[in-house]
Amino acid sequence: MLKPTPEPNPAPAQPSLRRRSVIDTARQLGLLEGENSRIGGRIRRVLVAAAKAKSGINSDTELLEYALAKVALEDNFGAKLVQRKGRVAKDVDLEF
């Protein structure tokens, strides 16, 4: 019987391109300007640990800032795409 080997889960040495893009866009839109405020809440430890591992972020503050920026910048592409269902003519040649 084979024993499962743990998968390596190294944290990225530098922020991912996606993370940098989210933070840079939020900064450009002025979402990271002004005074800081406090936010409090009870979050499951396993959720925080999973988010930190996935993002490579170690700081609770940076993790919250990144998560909130992602929500603030959400473009609802999926919902908009579904709303367009049936709007492209059936005779359009999509070349495949």
pLDDT in tens, 14-51: 668 989 999 999 999 999 999 999 998 999 999 999 99
In a domain, 48, yes or no: yes
How many independent structural domains does the chain possess?
1
Query: Which residues, in sequence order, are CB contacts of 26 under 8 Å at separation 6+?
Result: 32, 69, 72, 73
pLDDT in tens, 47-81: 999 999 999 999 999 999 999 999 999 988 888 88
pLDDT at 83: 85
Q: How many Cα atoms within 13 Å fall on the side-chain side of residue 38?
A: 2
The gap from C-alpha 93 to its chain's centroid, in whole angstroms, comes to 35
The predicted model scores a pTM of: 0.66
The boundaries of the domain holding residue 56 are 42-75
Q: What percent of the chain has pLDDT over 90?
A: 55
- Token pair, residue 78, equals 């999926």
Dist. CA 74–CA 67, nearest whole Å:
11
In a domain, 71, yes or no: yes
